[in-house]
Chains A and B, each alone.
Chain A
Amino acid sequence: MLRLSMAAFAVSLGLATGVAAQGALSVQGLGFPPGQMSTRAEGSGGSTSDFDPLSPINPASLSTVGLTSLFLQYAPEFRKVNAGSGSANTTTARFPIFGAVLPLGGSWTGGFSASTFLDRSFETRSQRTEIVGGPDDVVEVTERLRVLGAINDLRIGMAWASGPRLRIGAGAHLFTGRNRLTLDEIYSDSVRNTSNTQQSLVSYSGFAGSVGVSYHPSRVIGFALSGRKGGELRARSGDTAVAEATIPDRVSAGVTYEGITGATLSARVSREAWSSLEGLSGSGDVFDGWDSSVGAEVSGPRIMQRVVTLRAGGRYRTLPFGFDGARVRETAFMAGFGAPLTRNRATLDFAVQRAARSSAGGVDERGFIFSFGLRVSP
């Protein structure tokens, strides 16, 4: 009943109906989920995310870092969208993860991270005609929509390790962020017609909790399991709550195999209940999604007295927000490397991802995502 009344209130404020002109498959709805994976995890397709202390997914993995570490990731995406006879090339710069991990002594490790949960950055420009004034007075209108913003996941995590075999962790998440929308309607003949600019600022806030465990029964194999339980996510315009939903629950599992000298094979599968965000998305095209990945990490050549780690992997997932009633599917192949720096006090990771997304209506999207990660242990 509360949700129903909130929806009615949002309609009355004129905020509940959709801003549908999103210009790309991957930024439908509330935006694109970069995945909350570190560069290292991305290099192997994301398959090591549940074991990776720099990916804010499984809090249990925090205890594997060993040293106090700061981590920053930069991941620009170069995207090409094809729809009908048209195409568009875009460049989106993202800083998807910033984090810090702090061993607390004994078996405990704490960590803080800020990561992009849903990135909603796009701009569209289209034209239409309107009758303005007399019946024969056809005016061309240029409509420009610019949306900048994201919902971010701030996590504080704590992990406990019982030796190398068992690690357990828990995290508290604050989801926060905002979308700034600017709609310009530019009418031709500025002497007679007044153009129009509308702005809107919607902020989001919500809470969630996560738990995770990783278990290594032997030196060659490890298992990880993590989950997130979402709480209420509210959208506000100014001081007014305009809609609410639930942060999606997630459960994921991963496995690694290190039975081959110098190599690690891994796989991961994740299920995220994105449909819980439907209350914030007027379009209704919100789908729960699977995210599955496999990858490998091998010790590579020694360059300048440093062993470079090479990574490769593949990933398949469905994006949370569909297009035209259909799911958006993404297949991605990744490769990358990691190189230790300054006597292992720092690590530079690089990954390149080739992603292909498709959906209904003959619309497809290709993107290169370059990911740069720097971990520093002060």
Chain B
Amino acid sequence: MKAWSNSLRILTALSASAVLASCTEKLDSSGVCAVLCPPLGGAVQNVTIEAVAFDTTVNALSGLGAEPGLVLAARGDTLDARVILRFDSLPDTYRQGTDTAKPITVIDSATLRFRLDTLRIKGAGPVTIEAYDVDTDANDTSAAAVLALFTPERFVGSQTYTRAQLKDTLDYVLPGAHVLSKSQNRQRLRLGLRAVSSSSTQLLLSSEEGGAAPRLRFRVSADTSIAPFVLAPFSKTPVDDPVVSNNLGDYTVFARRPPEGGPTELDVGGMPVRRAYFRFDIPSNILDSSTIIRATLLLNQVANPLLDPTDTVFVLPQLVLAGAAVTDPVKAAQITTGLGIDTVKVRPGDAGLTLVELSAAFQVWRAVKATESPHAIVLRARNEGTSPLQVRFSSLEAAPALRPRLRISFTNEVPLGLP
């Protein structure tokens, strides 16, 4: 009897173990799939089609001065970029404690303070930054009118920096007398900065739109208990357009720059900033009835060797969210979102095939009809507005072999359900 009881106990323990072991199902029988699991998935079909229905180059950002960076460059015959700063509201009085306002009679330690991107300095030699008085009543957005004021008569001052002195905070000393004169005469202080160097040089300064605007700092008394004035760029004109006047507090003008791309080319990047806009017409039998594994936009890059041809430009494909009501591609190209699409690295001087992966965009396009929101993307530079580098691609106007094409890898749905 005792033997039976022991056997029963052992059996009970084994049964309990079996129950516990079976609590978690393990259905995966992959180990025998070499024999028992013929592949189910459909073969991937790769097709290359001319699915780009429309392409164009459009301006990015909202016009002059909207860039997040200020480019100060002197690169020989290729690039001459100058920075304009407007301080249209200078104080002419100051207070000490609770005293009544006193007129400003002295200006000391007048300094422009910039935030400099030291990683993107071009040129190893010393650079001189010259300041000119560029105050004018000419058209606010006219680059030519401002550039014409960089004359000896308008010269304000200069300062030379060695490469070692170019730190992330860059102080530029202004003649106090010039600022005082503007203050006392209630005039606008509008400065044009120009880089001069015996070798090619380029500096990138942060703008107000970039979050770290240049600051004008000066003292009005030797008494250090009186706080110095610190002014941000401010433009009063144009008076009828506050957005533009806000942008024109600080901006870049180009005395010289590489020419725009040709009529058969699409431009990405550069200054003024350009984007390439593509609208697709994808066959519905692929878009609606297949599973897209990969979609690649095949572009022919056109060499643009004039400026830093071996530098890398990061091109971001972005999905256009604009609905069908937005028919202007310039406007549509501003209404975009990132999709986690891989950044494309290109060098402006290279030429040939460039691949832009778009499969993430297709996941959205499957859910949104082209009649509701055109299936479109834009290519933009990651350093948009802070780099003059521009890459170019052949457009639909180019020779047939060079035009943008779409390569789609897809599978048809696998019949599931019955064995």
Contacts and interface: CB of A to CB of B under 8 A. Distances in A.
Interface of A: 10, 14-25, 28-30, 74, 76, 78, 81-93, 120-126, 128, 130-134, 139, 141, 143, 145-146, 179, 181, 183, 185, 187, 191-194, 196, 198-200, 202, 235, 237, 242-243, 280-283, 300-303, 308, 321, 323, 337, 350, 361-363, 368, 370, 372
B418 A86 contact: no
A321 B36 CA distance: 14
Nearest to B355: A133
B164 interface: no
Given A132-B294, A132-B409, A372 B19 contact: yes
Given A143-B40, A372-B15, 17 more contacts: A18-B415, A19-B415, A22-B419, A23-B33, A24-B29, A30-B419, A76-B21, A90-B28, A91-B21, A92-B27, A124-B36, A131-B44, A132-B46, A139-B44, A146-B27, A185-B291, A308-B4
Centre residue among A28, A126, A308 by max chain B CB count within 10 A: A126
A194 B292 contact: yes
B31 A19 contact: no
A77 to B, nearest CB: 8
A29 B418 CA distance: 8
Contacts of B11: 337, 350
Contacts of A370: 15, 18-19, 22
Interface string B395-419: 0000000000001010101111111
B38 to A, nearest CB: 5
6 contacts: A22-B37, A84-B34, A86-B32, A91-B26, A92-B27, A303-B4
Interface stretch (B84-92, B356-364, B384-392): B356-364
Contacts of B419: 18-20, 22, 28-30, 120, 280-283, 321
A88 B417 contact: no
Given A91-B21, A183-B416, A281-B418, A124 B37 contact: yes
A198 B417 contact: no
Interface of B: 1, 4-5, 8, 11, 15, 18-19, 21-41, 43-44, 46, 291-294, 296, 342, 357, 359-360, 362-363, 407, 409, 411, 413-419
A126 B37 contact: yes
B417 A83 contact: no
B417 A363 contact: no
Contact of B294 (A82, A192, A199): A192
Contacts of B27: 90-92, 121-123, 146
A254 to B, nearest CB: 28
B30 A88 contact: yes
Nearest to A27: B29
Given A84-B34, A321-B419, A74 B39 contact: no
Nearest to B41: A185
Nearest to A243: B418
A19 B294 contact: no
B33 A76 contact: no
B31 A86 contact: yes
Nearest to A22: B36
A83 B4 contact: no
Contact of A131 (B24, B26, B46, B291): B46
B294 A194 contact: yes
A123 B296 contact: no
Nearest to B296: A133
A89 B26 contact: yes
Given A21-B33, A91-B26, A282 B418 contact: yes
A31 B293 CA distance: 32
A368 B46 CA distance: 47
Interface of A is mostly: strand
Centre residue among B22, B38, B40 by max chain A CB count within 10 A: B40
A196 B366 CA distance: 14
Contacts of B21: 76, 78, 91
A194 B291 CA distance: 9
B36 A21 contact: yes
Nearest to A77: B22
Contact of A183 (B19, B26, B414): B414
A133 B46 contact: yes
A143 B34 contact: no
Contacts of B37: 20-23, 124, 126, 145
A183 B41 contact: yes
Contacts of A200: 416-417
Centre residue among A16, A91, A280 by max chain B CB count within 10 A: A91
A1 B157 CA distance: 98
A141 B41 contact: yes
Contact of B293 (A17, A194, A280, A301): A194
Contacts of A124: 28-30, 33, 36-37
Cβ-closest 8 pairs across A and B: A76-B22, A23-B29, A88-B31, A21-B37, A83-B35, A200-B416, A88-B29, A83-B32
Contacts of B35: 83-84, 86, 361-363
Given A86-B31, A133-B409, A194-B294, A21 B40 contact: yes
B32 A143 contact: no
B364 to A, nearest CB: 12
A193 B29 contact: no
Contacts of A141: 41
A280 B291 CA distance: 26
Contacts of B293: 130, 132, 187, 193-194, 196
Contacts of A350: 11, 15
Given A133-B294, A133-B407, A192-B357, A91 B40 contact: no
A78 B8 CA distance: 22
A125 B418 contact: no
Centre residue among B4, B26, B362, B419 by max chain A CB count within 10 A: B419
A124 B419 CA distance: 14
Contacts of B39: 21, 126, 128, 143
Contacts of A235: 417-418
A134 B360 CA distance: 18
B32 A82 contact: yes
A125 B294 contact: no
A253 B294 CA distance: 60
